[in-house]
């Protein structure tokens, strides 16, 4: 029998990255401050996790302006959606196999 | 086993985050009760004004219908503001208690999705008043408000949808029961809100 742990995605190990993906999957786009408020982390911490997800190709970044203030919004990519779903399936399978 | 617990906790966290970011769950049952009470007081004041108007008009021909109209509009606006503020107050208290910021992503979505149908309805009501189609004001306000609730229910506690359905049904009934505008209005905005508020309080807030 193959080990279901292999299917768990390393990128989603972190609680913060998991939180970001969860929020982005149910919302079309979310900006930086909204994410910060939801996940309750510091700016730097959130930024580095966002960078990591972006480099993995799981989220897209759109930079825009509201008036003069920058407004950076994030949304999930197709690849991100697929990877997250596989991760959830793996979690589910693990729970089942332990029953 | 330890890792099973861990995985369950992870799944739970994912669900929570999805919920919290897409639904505004601080809506309190007390808000419904307060808004309904405001509506009932308003309906009572309006009934009093209308009654007074027709009592006088039998013996004195010189009454002004525009005064009645002005009074009723003032009552309606007053009720809307009082209901909105009291509903917001109880929801604010609940969000403080739950430790959730009141003005988050979900709250903005909720506002947009309920205010848009309500604003469209408000234009219709204004135009109806201009064209003196007063009979249709009560049913139209009920129907548009009900639609706003159904639309907004996706972004808050889902049960709001049932309140919306009931209010739409009341409005449609009222279309064929024109003379009962105020009664339907009091039932839809007053009684149904209070029933909804009590049910929500019973279901979610009683234990706390």
Q: Is residue B11 part of a domain?
A: no
| CB contacts, 8 Å: B21 with chain A | 22-23, 26-27, 30, 34, 38
B119: pLDDT strictly greater than 60: yes
Domain count, chain B: 1
Strand partners, A31: A73
Domain count, chain A: 1
Residue A27, domain CATH? 1.10.10.10
Q: What is the pLDDT of residues B63-87, one digit of tens each?
A: 677 888 888 889 999 999 999 999 9
Q: Is residue A5 part of a domain?
A: no
Put simply, the answer to whether A19 touches B105 (Cβ < 8 Å) is: no
Q: Is residue B57 part of a domain?
A: yes
Determine the pLDDT at residue B22. Answer: 82
Put simply, the answer to whether B18 touches A91 (Cβ < 8 Å) is: no
Q: Give the residue-averaged pLDDT of B178-200.
A: 95
Three-state secondary structure readout of chain B: CHHHHHHHHHHHHHHHHHHHHHCECCCCHHHHHHHHHHHHHHHHHHHHHHHHHHHHHHHCCCCCHHHHHHHHHHHHHHHHHHHHHHHHHHHHHHHHHHCCCCCCHHHHHHHHHHHHHHHHHHHHHHHHHHCCCHHHHHHHHHHHHHHHHHHHHHHECCCHHHHHHHHHHHHHHHHCCHHHHHHHHHHHHHHHHHHHHHHHHHHHHCCC
More confident residue, B52 or B48: B48
Which of B11, B21, B22 is closest, CB to CB, to A91?
A: B11
The range of the structural domain enclosing residue A20 comes to 10-97
Put simply, the answer to whether B17 touches A15 (Cβ < 8 Å) is: no
| Cβ A76 vs Cβ A24: under 8 Å | yes
Q: Is residue A2 part of a domain?
A: no
Q: Is residue B63 part of a domain?
A: yes
| CB contacts, 8 Å: A38 with chain B | 17, 20-21, 104-105
- Which residue numbers in chain A have pLDDT < 50? 1
Quickly state the pLDDT bin for B158 (edges 50, 70, 90): confident
Put simply, the answer to whether B18 touches A34 (Cβ < 8 Å) is: no
Distance CA B163, CA B86 (A): 18
Determine the pLDDT at residue B58. Answer: 60
Q: Give the residue-averaged pLDDT of B139-146.
A: 96
Q: Is residue B133 part of a domain?
A: yes
Q: Is residue B20 part of a domain?
A: no
Q: Is residue B71 part of a domain?
A: yes
CA distances from B163 to A17, B73, B192 (A): 37, 25, 7
What 3-state class would DSSP assign to A68? coil
Q: Is residue A73 part of a domain?
A: yes
- Give kind and range of the element (H or E) at residue A94: helix A78-97
- Share the mean pLDDT of chain B: 89
Quickly state the pLDDT bin for B1 (edges 50, 70, 90): very low
| CB contacts, 8 Å: B112 with chain A | none
Q: Is residue B5 part of a domain?
A: no
How buried is residue A67: exposed, middle or buried, by Cβ count under 10 Å (0-12/13-18/19+)? exposed
Lowest mean pLDDT among A25-39, B4-18, B177-191: B4-18
More confident residue, B192 or B5: B192
Which of A18, A39, A98 is closest, CB to CB, to B14?
A: A18
Put simply, the answer to whether B105 touches A22 (Cβ < 8 Å) is: no
Q: Give the residue-averaged pLDDT of B118-130.
A: 95
Quickly state the pLDDT bin for B62 (edges 50, 70, 90): low
B1 → chain A, closest CA residue: A98
Q: What is the pLDDT of residues B21-46, one digit of tens each?
A: 888 888 899 999 999 999 999 999 99
Q: Give the residue-averaged pLDDT of B176-205.
A: 94
Determine the pLDDT at residue B60. Answer: 62
The range of the structural domain enclosing residue B67 comes to 28-205
| CB contacts, 8 Å: A98 with chain B | 1, 3-4
How many Cβ atoms are within 10 Å of B127's Cβ, its own excluded? Answer: 10
| CB contacts, 8 Å: B104 with chain A | 34, 37-38
Put simply, the answer to whether A38 touches B20 (Cβ < 8 Å) is: yes
Quickly state the pLDDT bin for B3 (edges 50, 70, 90): confident
| CB contacts, 8 Å: A4 with chain B | none
In a mutational test of the A interface, the residue from B104, B105, B106 whose CB has the highest number of chain A CBs within 10 Å is: B105
Token duo for residue A59 = 């989220």
Lowest mean pLDDT among B21-30, B42-51, B100-109: B100-109
Q: Is residue A3 part of a domain?
A: no
Q: Is residue A4 part of a domain?
A: no
- A and B: number of Cβ contacts within 8 A: 53
More confident residue, B60 or B41: B41
């Amino acid at each position: 029998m193959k080990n279901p742990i292999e299917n768990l995605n390393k990128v989603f190990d972190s609680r913060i990255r998991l939180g970001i993906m969860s929020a982005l999957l149910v919302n079309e786009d979310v900006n930086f401050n909204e994410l910060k408020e939801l996940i309750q982390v510091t700016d730097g911490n959130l930024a580095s996790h966002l960078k990591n997800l972006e480099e993995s190709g799981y989220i897209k970044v759109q930079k825009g302006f509201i008036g003069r203030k920058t407004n950076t919004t994030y949304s999930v990519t197709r690849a991100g959606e697929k990877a997250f779903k596989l991760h959830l399936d793996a979690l589910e399978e693990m729970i089942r196999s332990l029953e | 086993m330890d890792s099973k617990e861990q995985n369950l906790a992870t799944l739970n966290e994912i669900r929570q985050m999805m919920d919290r970011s897409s639904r505004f769950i601080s809506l309190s049952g007390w808000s419904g009760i307060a808004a309904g009470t405001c509506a009932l007081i308003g309906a009572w004041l309006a009934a009093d004004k209308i009654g007074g108007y027709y009592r006088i008009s039998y013996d004195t021909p010189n009454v002004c219908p525009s005064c009645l109209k002005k009074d009723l509009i003032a009552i309606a606006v007053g009720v809307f503001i009082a209901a909105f503020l009291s509903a917001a107050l109880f929801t604010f208290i609940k969000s403080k208690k739950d430790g959730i910021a009141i003005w988050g992503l979900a709250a903005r979505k909720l506002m947009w999705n309920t205010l848009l149908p309500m604003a469209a309805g408000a234009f219709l009501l204004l135009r109806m008043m201009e064209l003196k189609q007063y009979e249709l004001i009560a049913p139209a306000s009920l129907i548009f408000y009900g639609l706003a609730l159904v639309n907004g229910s996706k972004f808050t506690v889902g049960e709001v949808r049932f309140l919306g359905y009931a209010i739409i049904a009341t409005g449609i009934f009222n279309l064929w029961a024109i003379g009962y505008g105020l009664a339907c209005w009091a039932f839809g905005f007053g009684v149904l809100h209070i029933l909804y508020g009590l049910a929500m309080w019973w279901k979610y807030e009683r234990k706390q």
